[in-house]
């Protein structure tokens, strides 16, 4: 199969999306109100974006977002959180669809070489954090979870969202960046990427 064929690229995307979905189930830390530190679950879709370009990266990441939404509904019970319809739609869009799709932007600076790949991957993970930050501050601003962490959080939704989402997204960013810097330096990966980006 030719490496520049759409069939080959679809196969690569399918494998990477499946790998990302499986890795998202390996949770190093699980937060009490959603969110977790996983075992490099964002790296496969970031690699698709770096190897095949933004179009394929965003498409693979969107499929990953739909899978994560299905996991959220079936495993995390998103539909049972007692959210209003508007809150539920906002959660689906910000915490799932948009938050995971932005991982596909990891290849935005791939033409700049190794540094561009690392910067793009870091930016993609940071944008996912921004999606969760906005969701926490806007959608979940008036829920009782603020009181669960102490009365001092009440009335400070942006600070609460920054601390809560940062507690799992910062380690996720660090772990992903360490893995990306190691992985993208391996000769085998560099050879594959050289063939893909031609």
* pLDDT band at residue 1 under the 50/70/90 scheme: low
**Residue 39 above 80 pLDDT?**
yes
Q: Which residue has the higher pLDDT, 156 or 39?
A: 39
pTM of the predicted model over 0.85: yes
- The Cα 129–Cα 168 span in angstroms is 9
pLDDT > 90 fraction of the chain, expressed in percent and rounded: 58
Chain mean position to CA 151: 31
| Average pLDDT value for residue range 24-51 | 92
* pLDDT band at residue 108 under the 50/70/90 scheme: very high
């Amino acid at each position: 199969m030719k490496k520049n064929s759409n069939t080959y690229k679809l196969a690569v995307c399918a494998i990477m999306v499946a790998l990302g979905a499986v890795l998202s189930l390996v949770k190093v830390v699980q937060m009490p109100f959603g969110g977790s530190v996983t075992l490099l679950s964002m790296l496969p879709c970031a690699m698709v974006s770096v190897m095949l370009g933004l179009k394929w990266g965003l498409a693979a990441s969107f499929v990953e977002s739909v899978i994560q939404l299905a996991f959220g509904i079936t495993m995390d019970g998103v539909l049972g959180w007692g959210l209003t319809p508007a809150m539920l739609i906002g959660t689906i869009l910000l915490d799932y669809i948009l938050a995971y799709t932005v991982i596909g932007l990891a290849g935005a600076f791939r033409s700049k070489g190794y540094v561009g790949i690392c910067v793009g991957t870091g930016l993609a993970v940071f944008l996912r954090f921004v999606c969760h930050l906005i969701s926490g501050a806007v959608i979940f601003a008036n829920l009782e979870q603020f009181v669960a962490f102490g009365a001092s959080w009440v009335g400070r939704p942006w600070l609460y969202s920054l601390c809560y989402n940062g507690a799992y997204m910062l380690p996720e960013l660090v772990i992903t960046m360490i893995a990306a810097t190691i992985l993208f330096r391996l000769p085998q990966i560099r050879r594959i990427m050289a063939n893909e980006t031609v």
